[in-house]
Structure 1
Amino acid sequence: MSIRLLHYSDIENACDDPVRMGRLAGTIRSIRGEDAVVAGTGDNTAPGVLAHYYEGHQAMPFFRAVSTDVETVGNHDFDFGTAPILDVISKSPQEWIVANVFEGESEDERGVPFAGLDGTTVLHRDGRRVGFVGVIDPATPRIAPTGASELNVASPVESVRTAVSELGDSVDHFVVLAHLRSDLETAVAAVEGVDVVLGGHVHTERHEIADGTLVVRPGANGQVVWEVELFDGTCSPSATRHSTAEGPLDESVADTTREQLSDVGLLETVATVDDPIHRGLDRRTRGESRVGNLVANAYRWTADTDVSFVHNGGLREGRPLSGEVTAGEVASVHPFGGTVEVLHVTGEQLRALLEAAFRPHREDGRLWHGDVSGMTVEYDPAAGRLIGVAVNGQSLEAGREYSLATNSYVVYSDDWPIPHETTVDSFGLPFKTVADYAREEGITVQMGGRLQDC
């Protein structure tokens, strides 16, 4: 006999797509059974377009449909502050756990457990006991500043080690729910006593044995569910991958998602696309992409600036934009809050921004972390340097001032070399900007040599 873990994570903008949500729920329900534990590993309430209107509560029908048992939080679950995620936690069916997040102050300087949540839980299946601990990335207070800047996040490795020690022989299996970057995911897998790590946060899939421990990660946007089997005895855990694209459609969840989109005006058709615009990560980060050009064009259009820059880490995967495209589908490309900001920058400052976006040292081949409009950029991947930058056909002048449209994350994050004191104006939400652009200008965006590999 075995105990099965059904693992989803980082649903994010799948909540904006009735078909994807319906198939994700349908896949889990079709394989659930009484011996299974349904587990989530964070970022399942945000980001997304509907998330901005419902503050994470748009995920509740899904949680209830699949009867999630246990979940940990992710950094984006704090996108709207602590109050909305606490309300979701209080109303959803699953038990939420996180062992390394603290708030306030106490004698040990870490504070008290966030929202009074337990760090661990034990679930019983088939006469056996499965222990779970939840941990999130220590960078969360920095990368989710709206609701997490005052939180203290302790070492996930030490938190897991403590949890294993405390539960000890009281459980038959020990599972980590990990919303961590890859190296920390591997580090918690090395903790003695851990049987399985269910991962999240990183948007690529993972299935491997690390230090003798099974580690799986489904990637983002509800495309994969992992089914992990825990065996009684000496057999090691095993994992089966389920593609939700091939799963049955849960009509109830799909219909509810459509109703949510309709209620906030996101089912309106805003453009027709004859040549599908693909949104895959590789297309966005290996150079110029049509989807990146679309968002960069929208920024420059709404702000009427010389140039625009979009951090493409803020773009999200999903089905290609094709045929009759709704406001929700376009907005889901870039489903974040903040504002479109206008700055006056020198040519020297603009070049520094572009150099920060060019990262040829990445082993995965992802060269570019930005998209532009109004500029052409020549770069040499082998030499790892920019060769030239032109603005509207004219070579960039170091001392000249240019108007730049970008988003508030780029302006105020320490990750980008932008002098935020040069901000002169603010516009609306980025995802609304992209939808408005599509509605007014259509989506005929093409490749135009903006990023040139020399």
Structure 2
Amino acid sequence: MSDSPLRHLHYSDVENAYDRPDRIGRLTGTIRSLDGPDAVVAGTGDTTSPGVLPLVTEGRQALDFYEGVGTAVETFGNHDFDFGPDATRDVVADSPQTWVSANAWDADGGRFAADEGVVPRTVVEREGVRVGFVGVTAPETGDLNPMATDVDFSDPVAAAREQVAALREEGVDYVVVLSHLGTPDEELAVELDVDVVLGGHLHAETRERVAGTLIVRPGVNGGIVHEVTLDGGEPTVERHAVDEGPMADDVADALRDRMAAAGLDEVVATVDEPIERTEATVFRGESRIGNFVADAYRWVADADVGLQNSGGIREGEPLDGDVTVADLMSVVPFEEDVIVGELTGRELLTLLRQSSGAVVSFGQADWWHGHVSGIELVWDHATDELVEARVGGDPVDLDATYTVATTDYLFHSEQEFPLLDDEHRGERFYTQYDVLVDYAREVGIDAEIEGRIVRRSVESA
């Protein structure tokens, strides 16, 4: 094995950062400042979408960034299919990097986007050092993203194992997995003979060693670049905060031009007290931003209940002062309609129980995954029990029928609120972010904390 140094400049889950041209400018500037002949720029998924600009360009705004940093290798995240497989293929065909995916397949059984250049593994050489890359994507992507249902994702460990073995036979100096799996990265580290897992999908920053393999994830919205160095010994990692980095004006200006051309700067409401939308805000129970979104859904459908999944509210700058169309699109930047479902009281109680992180297959056990309108509930976090639930001030009637307005996504996904399915799907309205815009224009944005969700053992601790 060569003892010459080789550095990886790793980004992932850029997502809503495209709606902040200065952030992308500094992300680009940071990578450029670290780049050199011994460096490989690598991405690990969700780098085209979601966001406002992605909705307008179908993810092609990412090309400005890819070209700006000279990305060498990339793998797919679940959001890279937000506009369907054909749009993904178009981005692959026009981007400078090699896209690497060992477990993504077309419906006919062929490798996804092979004609556009996607490969299951690749080798990059820098300063005489050869590093092999394998890419894998979460197998539940088709369930997480309705637009990805025409792409199949096989077992990532088995798929990666085959490609890693081939790279070792080729005599590469190092093997790196580009992963958009989240916590299953640990299984990759245990099961495979690899030096580093550059990960994504999970939005928490990660720097850890498992079974002698370094696993890193930079978090979400382009805030961090990881510099991972391989020099024949134990891999090392250095964290670089993007907001402290230099600005790449050319890339920032390109994104500003795209936003201006899209006409997304109309002011639709004013907010006096900033409304936060951080992970800590949306996954910890009732929040002002969650109340606003759920209220808008219930309003447009004249439903008994409004429901918004916490993960559908994207992190970003608070809503403050003049709020534009772009600001509201960035809260729930998905081409998903508001749908009304009909549930019995018994089913409604089951739905509320499915808000608890203790029963959801991803995230943290103390997370809360649902924001509501028209409901007041009490949850005992210590016993994971729904203690009380009222609709319109009255206890839930087990035999009554209730209408619930929520996003179409929840009728598709089995990862969150699995009670909602096609049998419960009812009247369709229109795109969720357009509902927010109309509600803001007609009603305003003045959501407050009202005691809709009380988590007793959490809030009393």
TM-score category of the 2 structures, normalised to the smaller one? over 0.9
1:67 paired with 2:70, answer yes
TM alignment of 1:151-166, pairs within 5 A: 151-166=151-166
Q: 1:446 aligns with which of 421, 445, 448?
A: 448
Q: Does the aligned pair in 1 maintain the 2:41–2:70 contact within 8 Å?
A: yes
Q: Does the aligned pair in 1 maintain the 2:146–2:412 contact within 8 Å?
A: no
- Residue 332 of structure 1 aligns to a residue whose secondary structure is helix
Q: Does the aligned pair in 2 maintain the 1:341–1:425 contact within 8 Å?
A: yes
Deviation at 1:164, TM superposition (A): 2.0
Q: Which residue of 1 aligns with 2:335?
A: 337
Distance 2:191 2:24 in 1: 35
Q: Which residue of 1 aligns with 2:241?
A: 243
Q: 2:419 aligns with which of 413, 417, 420?
A: 417
Q: TM-score, normalised by structure 1?
A: 0.93
C-alpha deviations, 1:310-362, integer Å up to 9, x for none?
Answer: 11111111122223332212221111122001223222221111111123468
Partner AA of 1:280 in structure 2: T
1:185 paired with 2:188, answer no
C-alpha deviations, 1:14-33, integer Å up to 9, x for none?
Answer: 11222222221121122212
Q: Does the aligned pair in 1 maintain the 2:189–2:210 contact within 8 Å?
A: yes
Partner AA of 1:346 in structure 2: T
Q: 1:134 to 1:360 in 2, by over 3 A?
A: closer
Q: Which residue of 2 aligns with 1:77?
A: 80
Q: Which residue of 1 aligns with 2:127?
A: 126
Partner AA of 2:427 in structure 1: D
Q: Does the aligned pair in 2 maintain the 1:349–1:418 contact within 8 Å?
A: no
Deviation at 1:137, TM superposition (A): 1.2
Aligned length: 445
Partner AA of 1:15 in structure 2: Y
Distance 1:336 1:131 in 2: 35
1:135 paired with 2:136, answer yes
Partner AA of 1:158 in structure 2: A
Deviation at 1:82, TM superposition (A): 0.9
Q: Which residue of 1 aligns with 2:322?
A: 324
Q: 1:104 to 1:293 in 2, by over 3 A?
A: closer
- Residue 433 of structure 1 aligns to a residue whose secondary structure is helix
Q: 1:98 to 1:430 in 2, by over 3 A?
A: same
- Residue 399 of structure 2 aligns to a residue whose secondary structure is coil
1:401 paired with 2:404, answer no
- Residue 275 of structure 1 aligns to a residue whose secondary structure is strand
Q: 1:258 to 1:402 in 2, by over 3 A?
A: same
1:313 paired with 2:316, answer no
Q: Which runs of 5+ in 2 are unaligned?
A: 457-461
Give the percent of matched residue pairs that are identical in Structure 1 and Structure 2: 46
Q: Does the aligned pair in 2 maintain the 1:97–1:133 contact within 8 Å?
A: yes
Distance 1:289 1:365 in 2: 18
Bigger mean CA offset, 50-59 vs 88-97? 50-59
TM alignment of 1:166-245, pairs within 5 A: 166-168=166-168, 169-182=170-183, 184-231=184-231, 233=232, 235-245=233-243
Q: Which residue of 1 aligns with 2:369?
A: 369
Deviation at 1:179, TM superposition (A): 0.7
Q: Does the aligned pair in 2 maintain the 1:225–1:241 contact within 8 Å?
A: yes
Q: 2:264 aligns with which of 238, 263, 266?
A: 266
C-alpha deviations, 1:167-225, integer Å up to 9, x for none?
Answer: 2252111111001131x211112245311110011111110111101110011111111
C-alpha deviations, 1:233-253, integer Å up to 9, x for none?
Answer: 3x2111111111222222222
Distance 1:222 1:272 in 2: 28
Deviation at 1:35, TM superposition (A): 1.9
Partner AA of 2:186 in structure 1: T
Q: 1:29 aligns with which of 11, 28, 32?
A: 32
Q: Which residue of 1 aligns with 2:252?
A: 254
1:275 paired with 2:277, answer no
Q: Which runs of 5+ in 1 are unaligned?
A: 106-110
Q: Which residue of 2 aligns with 1:431?
A: 433
Distance 1:423 1:125 in 2: 54
Deviation at 1:91, TM superposition (A): 0.4
1:145 paired with 2:143, answer no
Deviation at 1:370, TM superposition (A): 0.4
Q: Does the aligned pair in 2 maintain the 1:102–1:153 contact within 8 Å?
A: yes
Q: Which residue of 1 aligns with 2:459?
A: none
Distance 2:101 2:208 in 1: 24
C-alpha deviations, 1:244-274, integer Å up to 9, x for none?
Answer: 1222222222222222222222222233323
Q: 2:92 aligns with which of 70, 89, 93?
A: 89
- Residue 131 of structure 1 aligns to a residue whose secondary structure is strand
- Residue 135 of structure 1 aligns to a residue whose secondary structure is strand
Distance 2:436 2:5 in 1: 48
Distance 1:88 1:206 in 2: 28
Partner AA of 1:328 in structure 2: A
Distance 2:442 2:237 in 1: 48
- Residue 73 of structure 1 aligns to a residue whose secondary structure is coil
1:5 paired with 2:3, answer no
Distance 1:241 1:41 in 2: 16
